[in-house]
Structure 1
Amino acid sequence: MKPGLQEIQAQAETRKQEIYRVTLVGLVVNLLLSGAKLAAGIVGRSAAMTADAVHSFSDLATDVVVIAFAKISAKPKDENHDYGHGKYETLATVLISLALAAVGTGILLSGIRSIRVVFDGGTLPRPGLIALVAAVVSIAVKEILYRYTVRVGRRIDSPSVVANAWHHRSDALSSLGTLVGIGCAYFLGEQWRIADPIAALVVAVFIFKIAFDLIRSGLDELMERSLPAETEAEILRIVTADPVVREPHNLRTRRIGASIAIEVHVRVDGEMTVRQSHALTEDIEQRLRERFGQGTMIAVHVEPTK
């Protein structure tokens, strides 16, 4: 087994277990919270809270997606996947983002239908106090869950976990809009009940914005978009830290799940031996991996100076 391979696999396994842990916590919380919100919506005669409960149930589906894809993306490279399976995690991010967009669409259509009821001369029902309490609890729980999940996702550099965290926050935003609408309908009288669907429309806009940003990021990775210019500049500084290395060129970079791939050509003294050139490239690779992680995929092509 190549030096460092065991360490890379151990890191991948640890990362997978952290993804499992944070996602399972979210799954259990979503299951309990969704059931409670659905009961509150039915008992409290609140269509907004019932819709909010459906939104929470959608989080359960994304939790399952993250768990399933985390197991696949953690698999080491094989004869059919020379660069590993990291793109499966990116695919999970895109799927979660599409789920967010679908939820936003559902909230938008529901809000429009309720507003049309008012414009057609109808009256929206007054929600019960239990729906108001459920909205407050949902906001608090989902915001805590968002902060916990996004912190773990950023620490382990997992785009799918971060995307799932934003799904939690979208649920909190949905509950915030529900709280405003239920509060107006409950405390301010019949003429204010239209505030519920209007707040839902505002929430839908926020959800669409989050979904769009996540989809764009995921598609950039799937389409092999280069790393940001500042990251590539840092890579070139690391490559040329040794004065023996000259004229780095043909730099190619991309992200593969939680890892990045770097390809670069460098020029050295044409009289340098093969052994010396090999030692130089190993030193470059070590410095790059110290900065960007042991899972970084690196290819350094050595050319003689002209």
Structure 2
Amino acid sequence: MENQIISEEIRSKEAKKITLIGFVVNAILTGFKIFAGVTGNSSAMIADGVHSLSDFFTDIIVLVGFKITDKPEDESHNYGHGKFETLATAIISFALFFAGYKILISGLNNIYGALFKNILIEKPSIVPLIAAIISIISKELLYRYTKFVGERIKSSAVIANGWHHRSDAFSSVGTLIGIGGAFLLGSKWTILDPIASIIVSIFIFRVAFQILLPSVNELMEASLQKDEILFIENIIKTSPAIVNYHHLRTRRIGNKIAVEVHLIFDRNIMLYEAHEHATTIEKQIKDKFGSNSIITTHLETN
């Protein structure tokens, strides 16, 4: 199983590596966007560059989150520090909501100014247009690579950070449309920029919600998905020595799961035999969900 092959040490190292790559790319893009916006008379590109600054915060959050998650179990955190990764994911989603909100408000203000105050946006040069194209390509590639790594190491925080990269690409698409329209069609078409930015903000809100909901459920100690619970129940039911079971409780802690269940055996069974059957069940569950899963079985007789 893939989740057995990737150890916690390798998982943490991969997460930090891809996050540092994103951090460097964001630094270069942010500086380039702001430079292109200032020299190319494009307020949209300046706003896009400022938006890219939010990626710095999410990269730092992921790095700090994994620094804490790497800590072993202690007296204060008997189940480890996996929830910090979940918290980092939630914070990233809020950063996405904030970025989407800023883009939405900026777009509405620009449309209002153009329609009701006759504010004419200065025609941009080709420099911010090139910057937008470079941003879209680089951020989309960074999103795909980050999401690939996040899914491979099963990290919701890394995947969420990948989506943040794509949100930056989305905002650059809106910027490209606005700048392209103004550059190719004339200054009257600069209104395409704020219109596109509003559409982009809706996509960002949608992604932020999709990332936030699972994180909130996990922080609220929600159970595993129904198909995951059914998998665990089938393992228990197929064990020949188990008569029944009750009080099956499940939850997720970062990238690992915790399962607690009371197993009922025939009263004539020897303790060591019951223990062996319980150990077999624990192994089968860990084969599915990872060797770092926390499985607690209580042995009872009828």
CA contact (8 A) 2:22 2:59 kept: yes
1:69 aligned residue (61, 65, 77): 65
- How many residue pairs match? The answer is 297
CA distance in 2 between counterparts of 1:239 and 1:127 reads 66
- Give the C-alpha shift of residue 251 in structure 1: 1.4
What secondary structure does 2:154 align onto? Answer: coil
The correspondence of residues 8-27 of structure 1 with structure 2, limited to 5 A, is 11-27=7-23
Paired amino acid for 1:144: L
1:79 aligns with 2:75: yes
Identity among equivalent positions (%) equals 46
1:45 aligns with 2:41: yes
Aligned partner of 1:153 in structure 2 is 150
1:264 aligned residue (250, 256, 261): 261
1:95 aligned residue (82, 91, 96): 91
CA distance in 2 between counterparts of 1:265 and 1:163 reads 36
Aligned partner of 1:3 in structure 2 is none
CA distance in 2 between counterparts of 1:183 and 1:100 reads 25
CA distance in 2 between counterparts of 1:47 and 1:187 reads 17
CA distance in 2 between counterparts of 1:241 and 1:11 reads 29
Paired amino acid for 1:56: S
CA distance in 2 between counterparts of 1:15 and 1:210 reads 24
CA contact (8 A) 2:241 2:274 kept: no
The correspondence of residues 55-204 of structure 1 with structure 2, limited to 5 A, is 55-119=51-115, 120-204=117-201
Q: Kindly provide the CA deviation profile for residues 21-47 of structure 1, in whole angstroms up to 9, marking residues without a partner as x.
A: 010000001101111111111111111
CA distance in 1 between counterparts of 2:235 and 2:275 reads 17
CA distance in 2 between counterparts of 1:74 and 1:158 reads 13
What secondary structure does 2:261 align onto? Answer: strand
What secondary structure does 1:193 align onto? Answer: helix
CA distance in 2 between counterparts of 1:264 and 1:126 reads 67
What secondary structure does 2:269 align onto? Answer: coil
Aligned partner of 1:4 in structure 2 is none
Aligned partner of 2:216 in structure 1 is 219
What secondary structure does 2:7 align onto? Answer: helix
CA contact (8 A) 1:117 1:124 kept: no
Bigger Cα displacement from structure 2, 86-95 vs 73-82:
73-82
Q: Kindly provide the CA deviation profile for residues 37-72 of structure 1, in whole angstroms up to 9, marking residues without a partner as x.
A: 111111111111111111111101110110011010
CA distance in 2 between counterparts of 1:49 and 1:92 reads 28
CA distance in 2 between counterparts of 1:122 and 1:39 reads 24
Q: Kindly provide the CA deviation profile for residues 114-149 of structure 1, in whole angstroms up to 9, marking residues without a partner as x.
A: 111111122111111011111011000000000000
Aligned partner of 1:293 in structure 2 is 290
Normalising by structure 1, we get a TM-score of: 0.94
- Give the C-alpha shift of residue 246 in structure 1: 2.8
CA RMSD of aligned residues (A): 1.3
Gaps of 5+ in 1: 1-7
- Give the C-alpha shift of residue 194 in structure 1: 0.5
1:246 aligns with 2:276: no
CA contact (8 A) 1:236 1:248 kept: no
Normalising by structure 2, we get a TM-score of: 0.96
